[in-house]
Amino acid sequence: MARFALGAAVLPVDVNIRRVLERTGASFTPEAAEALMDLGATVCIARVPRCGVCPLADRCPSQGRTFEPLRRQSRFEGSFRQRRAQTLRALMDGRDDPHAGEVAVRESLKRDGLL
């Protein structure tokens, strides 16, 4: 992120910052980036925010609300995510790739810079 790596005056909008911005409707300066990330990760959490300890609660239009998940996480057992993890773990341990015949697994790991 340009804010942290290069000191650029931009607000990096990750999932936690986006949540705080959407719920509060407020705008923040780039200097607030780390605080907003922490706030979104620990207080303004996805489904049941901890409004009672939030420093922004008194001005937050979402105070006291709960939220449905935006999407349902698919099961992990047997998933593509599990096969990626198994392949990465095996290669890091110097073992044979258990999914060597499935080209898409390695390609996705390469695309993500993990191989």
pLDDT tens by residue, 29-54: 999 999 999 999 999 999 999 999 99
The residue with tokens 């697994």 is: 105
> Quick one: what percent of the chain has pLDDT higher than 70?
97
So where are the chain's domains?
Answer: 2-59, 80-111
Judge if pTM exceeds 0.75.
no
CA atoms 115, 82, 16, 19: torsion sign: positive
Please write the tens of the pLDDT for every residue from 92-107.
Answer: 999 999 999 999 999 9
Asked if 17 and 36 count as a contact pair (C-beta separation under 8 A), the reply is: yes
